[in-house]
Amino acid sequence: MPTLSFKTFLKNNCWAILWGVFIFLLTSLPGDYLPRIPKFVDLFKPDKLVHIFIFLVLIFLLLQGFERDGNPAIIHKYAVFFAFTISFSIAGITELLQEFVIPMRVASPYDFIANLLGILLGWGAYAFYKKKQLK
């Protein structure tokens, strides 16, 4: 079993960590800083695609980082569990922050559902990517 160094762990997971910080920064913008969408476009809710995308990328990067050599055996073995736990936590925390901390923002169960859909799609995308790499 390789010895873990914090530096190796950060190197393996730097993109996932940076993406997580980006999510917190993006979801922490006050509501009046966000561009307004015309009413007719509201029917399509394009912001849900943003939620799906950012969480798809997050779990993909987490899985990629956790499965690299040099991580502790437990992180490598339970990469999916840890990636889901972290992604799910960030999805919930960002909605709670928007409801209770960020000015002019509100939590939305539909945003949270879009976050979860992004997590599931990202997991699927990573499984597909991994399968293609093995060929």
Indicate yes or no: pTM above 0.95: no
* Residue located via tokens 């699927």: 124
Q: Are 46 and 85 in contact (CB under 8 A)?
A: no
* pLDDT value of residue 41: 43
- Label residue 95 exposed, middle or buried (CB < 10 Å: 0-12, 13-18, 19+): buried
Assess contact for 23 and 90: CB atoms under 8 A: yes
pLDDT digits (tens, 9 = 90+) for 101-111: 988 888 888 88
Q: Check residue 84 and give its pLDDT.
A: 97
pLDDT tens by residue, 85-122: 999 999 999 999 999 998 888 888 888 988 999 999 99
Q: Is 2 left (phi over 0), alpha (psi -120 to 50) or beta?
A: beta
Identify the pLDDT of residue 27. Answer: 82
Helix ranges (DSSP H) in 1-108: 6-27, 39-42, 47-66, 73-77, 79-100
